[in-house]
Structure 1
Amino acid sequence: MASLSIPEPREILIKPYEKSSVNLIQAALLKANLNLTPVVDGDKIRIKLPLLTEENRKENVKKVKAVGEKAKQEVRFIRRDTLNKIKSDKIADKDLNKYFEEQVDKITKKYIDQIDSILAKKEKDLLSL
């Protein structure tokens, strides 16, 4: 669809492969509500990135946390669905079902912990810029 380059530290340059898609890309960027102002420059789009203030950083941390919570919620939904499937299938005896449930809980905890670790690292990165 387009090539991206970074000609300056705070600028993104988008060069669509088809000139006719310049306005479509600009409209999509505006619709995405990223607090950026894409400027059409002939057959290219330039986006100047604002300086990150402490307020911007804190807002970005909130967004990252929201994405992380959504990811953890999805993991929990998968856990719930898997446990329901184990209970409803009744393929194995009680002890084996208990073992499966414990394994599902272990895997769930592993992925929740990974998400928490990624969130903590990203929060630290965002606040220490």
Structure 2
Amino acid sequence: MIARTEDSFITRRWISEKLRRSERWVQQHWNKTTEECYTQFGSGRPEILTQDSKDIITSANGISGSSCRKVTREISEKTGQRVCHVTVYRERYRQGLKPFHVIAKPLKTNTQIEDRKWLAKFVAD
């Protein structure tokens, strides 16, 4: 396609250079409106896990030895869906689940803080 303006020719190559897009992109979007050409950001990747797979991941939480790879095998056996272990890890992270062996560290109590202050003062004297 070539369009003529006063003294110059506008070609796909010229438009692709101005828009910093490929010529193929220009060809695909040639007859579209401006709103149709904008990229939709924030929608994210499409969901690959079914609700059954998510339920299996949730039920495997808190069980000793249920690694992401083992959960992946369990999903493929029960649902027949092939899923990567990284996908299982990301779903666990998204749900806020943690591995079985993670134990939250307790915060310092007031008595521990007072004992440390006393020890520091005792050593300073």
Name which structure has the greater RCO, CA cutoff 8 Å, separation 6+.
Answer: 1
Q: Normalised by the size of structure 2, how large is the TM-score?
A: 0.24
The structure with more strand, counted as a fraction of residues: 1
TM-score, scaled to structure 1: 0.24
